[in-house]
Every structure is written in C-alpha cells, then in structure tokens.
A = this chain, B = another copy of it.
Amino acid sequence: MPTKTFFNLPEEKRQNLMNAAMREFSRASLADASIANIIKDACIPRGSFYQYFEDKADLFFYILEEHSASNRELMMSMAVKHKGDLFASSAEFFESTLHRFMHHEHRDFARNIFLNMNYKIEYKLILDVKNPTTTERIRDFYRSYMSLINRTGLNIRDEKELFHLIKILRAIIIQNFIQFFAGEADYEEVLRNFALELDLLKRGLYAPSGDMSE
C-alpha cells in the first residue's frame, strides 16, 4: 500500500505520478516496467518515489486493485440486472468487459495484466496479509455476489457447489481474455468461444428443462 505521505500529496502531483505509472504499466508488464521510467516521466526524484511506495509492485498492485474494484462492481450490477441468473450475468459481464478492453484507453494495461497473469496477480489481493482491508473487501464481494445468485435455476446442490461453479466460470473467463489479448482469437471469435463453453457447462448445470434429449 502507498504510504500516508502519498495520500497527503496535492491532488495534481498524485495524479501526475499515477498517470506516469499507468503509461509505464501499459508499455510493459510488472516485471519489465521500471521505476526509472516512471519517475523520469513524472519528473519526480528517485527518493520521493520510495517515500510513497515500497517498490514497483506496491504501486502496481495499488493501481490493479482500483481497477479490480470497478470490475467487481460491474459483476454485482450484472447479477442484479439479470435477477440472479449466473450464466446470463456472466455472459453480459464477459461481453461488456471484452468490449471495454477493445475500445478502452486502458487496453494496453489490461493486455499486460492478462498476458502476465499469475497467482500473485490473480490472488495476491485475497491473500495479502498486509492488506486486511482489501482482503475483507474481496471476501465481502464473494459473499454478496453468491447471495445474489438465484440457485433455483441451477443444477447444484449447495453453496459449496455454487462456489466451485463460480471458480470454473472465472477460470474460463480469464482464459478467454488471455486468448483475446494473445491474438489467438479476435473479438467475435472469443465471444463465440465463450458462448460455446458456457453452453457446454449449462447443458448439465442448468436444471433439466427438456433440452437434454440430444
């Protein structure tokens, strides 16, 4: 986490630094980005940087968490909009996020995130003992999200199975984002792939409704 000093900074200076950081993390992955570039861009001395952040990763995960938070909000709003339909809300979340990735100013940043997605990036926020606030925020999110999901339409037995279903869905969503950014499939193709994969899941996970006759 950034230091208190960082948050005491005048708004403009803080924004300036954050913008420079976004530019660098859009240019390169966490591993390849350099503090040297950020401070050169933001015109702040080296020593100041270390007064605000522990290191490169500290800044990176701070930015990442901000973006993740807005993503979680979108997931929640989708679940509400689709009245708890897990598959429908996941589908719209996927499509809308992919669309944002296509046209968004943060496309390169997202690209670097997904092509270098690893355990640390995917879970650090959850497990980071140093960040109990963030940890709690994410726990709350999952609790709220799961309680929003309407289980009567799903072929699952209990909360635990719902949890695993969400885990599977998340893995599939991330995998498709990665393929998109890797250029393995274009926008339309990724959408089709995801729809097909959702369908494979649904055939069993939706409570039988008559279309199981093959």
Instruction: Compute how far the CA of A110 lies from the CA of B184 in the bound complex, rounded to whole angstroms.
Output: 26
Q: A212-B208, A212-B212 are in contact. Are A119 and B114 (CB under 8 A)?
A: yes
Count copies of this chain in the complex: 2
Q: Is the interface of A mostly helix, strand, loop or mixed?
A: helix
- Taking the closest CB of chain B, its distance from the CB of A123, in whole angstroms, is 7
Closest Cβ neighbor of A122 among chain B residues: B178
A3 at interface by CB-CB < 8 Å: no
A169-214 with Cβ < 8 A to chain B: 171-172, 175, 178, 181-182, 184, 193, 196-197, 200-208, 212-214
| A9 sits at the interface (CB 8 A) | no
Q: Show 25 A/B contacts (Cβ-Cβ < 8 Å), sorted by A.
A: A114-B119, A115-B118, A116-B118, A116-B119, A119-B178, A119-B181, A123-B184, A155-B204, A155-B212, A155-B214, A160-B196, A164-B196, A164-B200, A167-B197, A168-B171, A168-B200, A168-B201, A171-B172, A200-B201, A201-B201, A202-B204, A203-B204, A204-B204, A208-B213, A208-B214
Top-8 shortest CB links A-B: A204-B204, A203-B204, A171-B171, A115-B119, A208-B212, A116-B118, A171-B175, A118-B118
